[in-house]
Amino acid sequence: MMGNWPSPWQLDAIGSTLGFDHYPNLILNFGDEMNLWQRTINTLSGLVALYYWRWNVMTVVDRIASETLSIDNLTTIEEIEQRYLSLFIFNTHFSLNYQLPPTSSVIQAAGLNCAPPQPLTQDLESFIDGSGDDGCIILSFGSILKGVDLPDDVRRLFLSTFSRLKQRVIWKWEDESKLGKDDFIPPNVKFMSWLPQQDLLGHPKVRLFITHGGLNSIQEAVYHKVPLIILPVFVDQPINARIAQNVFYDAIQQILSDPSYKERIDKLSAVMQDQMESPMDRVIYWIEYVIRHEGGSHLRTSSQRHLEKYANY
């Protein structure tokens, strides 16, 4: 089960078409509608990434595994893929990602992490209810980027912006003791070291989710029909702070006041959830399918079946 978009080496390992003409390499900032020059760059960079993975990364992993286990002639990762890899389950869905050209052995199962909201604690529910019709905003950068690691200027920019809002803000902040002594904490801001993120996103008073753009966070926001502002990298130079603050404030106001954003996320959520079965049921079915059919070699392309026979010699 892979928790990201399929990479060239993953698709190649399962014998799936790479689709460089419309499926952008993740290291590039291309969309799926590329011109000839972009397609050329996309293809070349994708092939370089593929062979770098096979000739450098995998060989290093094989060497470390052999040294760690003290086993000579240890079966390589490539040989394991050729002999036994029958199914790749990706945490993706065509409603959220670019269109894949997958084989039958590639299963898209985005939404495994999504679930209906559970009741909040009384303290948290009281804070959200106190927002009235203005509602609440959730701010979280996940587990990778902690709030306490934000530069001082960025933290103050956020606080200054939030002080201008009518909405209440719930901010995932791991340690309040690390706030600056001179920081003004607006009364509409609540810090929490841990957030019941899905339960919050599913609350009817939540109007906006500000996030770093992690895959699970995006899927949960779409599932619960909450518009997003994604900040993968944020300005931290003091000279740009005023400009950044105005841009950030204007972006929040635009999303909260323009109904088209909520309409768009509602439509996207409907497409994501309109599936014949739940992602979990789909994953269980295909895992059991491969077991029932002794590895499901018929799911593999002819080229992969040829490599499997070659690996057995």
DSSP-H helix ranges across the chain: 8-13, 36-52, 58-69, 77-84, 122-129, 152-162, 197-201, 215-223, 241-257, 259-273, 279-292, 302-311
122-257: which CATH number, 3.40.50.450, 3.40.50.300, 3.40.50.2000, 3.40.1280.10?
3.40.50.2000
| pLDDT confidence of residue 36 | 92
Spatial separation of the C-alpha atoms in residues 77 and 54, rounded to whole Å: 9
Compute CA 63 distance to the chain's CA centroid, rounded to the nearest angstrom.
31
| pLDDT confidence of residue 239 | 39
Give me the chain's average pLDDT, please.
82
CATH 3.40.50.2000 residue ranges of the chain are 122-257
The percent of residues above 70 in pLDDT, for the chain, comes to 88
- The residue ranking higher by pLDDT, 89 or 232, is 89
Span 13-28, average pLDDT: 79
pTM for the model: 0.77
Spatial separation of the C-alpha atoms in residues 139 and 173, rounded to whole Å: 9
Span 33-60, average pLDDT: 90
Give the phi and the psi of residue 228 in degrees, each rounded to 5: -125, 150
pLDDT, tens digit, 9 for 90 and up, residues 150-190: 777 788 888 889 999 999 999 998 877 767 677 788 999 99
